[in-house]
A and B are shown apart, each in its own frame.
Chain A
């Protein structure tokens, strides 16, 4: 579903190599956690896959389409992206107005968006906030609204950048349940970035560990404990 081959990116002004020949795959239906410390290149990678940053080198394939100028809008229709901080919502508008707007940016009609909200209501109940301004919601609630916005057009690939940041224990727990349910019901291929080992451990099939812009290890999440994963993670990034 997602394939990166030798993707590199250097921020020339700051002389920082954010990604250095990164290659990995995410198979269809998989939920992969991109685990790494701050500054490892996680957000840069998400933004490159989202088309927000142009890489210096390398190739990205999404659903067997090479990400280039010709395929850009077809790929955008397949992507659902939630960037860090749930800032990508209009806080001065009600929740459903945000849904209709962002759904329309992905080419959906109001009727299709409404049907989709109803379909997802059992998994992601947000209708109770229908007319509430986004700014009146808690961070965890905003995060759920942002995820719903990203799912309205039925994406093939969902990208979540640090979705657990700033969430309290209860909100994190709700998010974990939500992502598990989404994965089992919708089977959306998902890539989640985080530095939170415990959060990722509960939901992902596989860890891809990134450090200083390089993929250092891939680990199958085979009922490993947080401590075991942390040990592998810390060993990998120190090597």
Chain B
């Protein structure tokens, strides 16, 4: 009960804080809407329809990849950028003095980030669907795949959170990561990288399998199992690295040094 109560308190606080920065939410909706509409206008990912050869057209397949990407960057930012902000504010140290493991508080952050990002992304999606002729078929499996994807990307977020604990300013690094994820994980179009090393990134698998699902194609069990295992490995890696980084930073006495 204590753990649930603390996670809920973290979610509540995060949402209240987000609501005090309503303009930020509106600007995120605007930015993400303009970006996807621009990509659609320039017919990005036009080869996707041929590649998947199913019922879904190129535009809806691009939208699926894009939505997965946006959810993923929110998952990453819920730890990496937030650690930076909390440390600047001085509240990070108070979190480390809680009666529960710090990981629970970051889980709360991730869940609240998921709620907030769902509102933002749903708004973007509705706007795009109203302004274009896209028909988006959301399958139950695609939502499950999104969840598995977020588990893995949260792990990646924890790794970046560890870097944030150590080096503090990682805004540019996070930005580069977001761009790399966009271009290397089939978000926009199929790449050769995604058939090789890109397969290790949960987002690549998530996008690919979700596109198969919305195209009415069968998702291979082996691919699904690989995706689940891959995401779990990233999560465990993230937890391990964050735990190590936290201890190292406390040993160095640098938790709040800016």
Question: Chain A interface (Cβ within 8 Å of chain B)?
Answer: 9, 11-13, 18, 44, 47, 50-54, 73, 76-77, 79, 81, 83, 85, 87-93, 97, 100-102, 104-107, 109
Q: A12-B252, A89-B91 are in contact. Are A76 and B99 (CB under 8 A)?
A: yes
* Residue count of chain B within 8 Å CB distance of chain A: 30
Q: In the assembled complex, which residues on chain A have CB atoms less than 8 Å from the CB atom of B10?
A: 101
Task: Indicate if the CB atoms of A52 and B93 lie closer than 8 Å.
Answer: yes
A107 to B99, CA, bound (A): 6
Interchain nearest-CB distance for B112 vs A (Å)? 12
Task: Indicate if the CB atoms of B253 and A97 lie closer than 8 Å.
Answer: no
Q: In the assembled complex, which residues on chain B have CB atoms less than 8 Å from the CB atom of A52?
A: 93, 96-97, 250, 255-256
User: Can you list 20 pairs linking A and B with CB atoms under 8 Å apart?
Assistant: A13-B252, A50-B93, A52-B255, A53-B253, A54-B250, A73-B99, A73-B100, A76-B98, A83-B90, A88-B91, A88-B94, A89-B91, A90-B13, A90-B89, A91-B89, A92-B17, A92-B21, A93-B16, A106-B98, A107-B100
Task: Indicate if the CB atoms of B250 and A53 lie closer than 8 Å.
Answer: yes
Task: Indicate if the CB atoms of A105 and B252 lie closer than 8 Å.
Answer: no
Smallest CB gap from A74: residue in B:
B99
B72-111 vs A, Cβ < 8 Å mask (1 yes, 0 no): 0000000000000000011101111111100001000000
A79 to B97, CA, bound (A): 8
Task: Indicate if the CB atoms of B253 and A44 lie closer than 8 Å.
Answer: yes
Contact of B93 among A83, A97, A106 (CB under 8 A): A83
Interchain nearest-CB distance for A166 vs B (Å)? 14
Task: Indicate if the CB atoms of A105 and B98 lie closer than 8 Å.
Answer: yes
A88 to B12, CA, bound (A): 18
Q: In the assembled complex, which residues on chain A have CB atoms less than 8 Å from the CB atom of B5?
A: 104, 109
Q: A47-B253, A93-B16 are in contact. Are A101 and B9 (CB under 8 A)?
A: yes
Smallest CB gap from B255: residue in A:
A52
A77 to B91, CA, bound (A): 17
Q: In the assembled complex, which residues on chain A have CB atoms less than 8 Å from the CB atom of B252?
A: 11-13
A100 to B6, CA, bound (A): 11
Smallest CB gap from B86: residue in A:
A90
Smallest CB gap from A79: residue in B:
B97
Does any Cβ of A come within 8 Å of B247's Cβ?
Answer: yes
The 6 closest A-B pairs by CB, nearest first: A87-B90, A104-B9, A105-B98, A53-B253, A107-B99, A54-B251
A36 to B2, CA, bound (A): 39
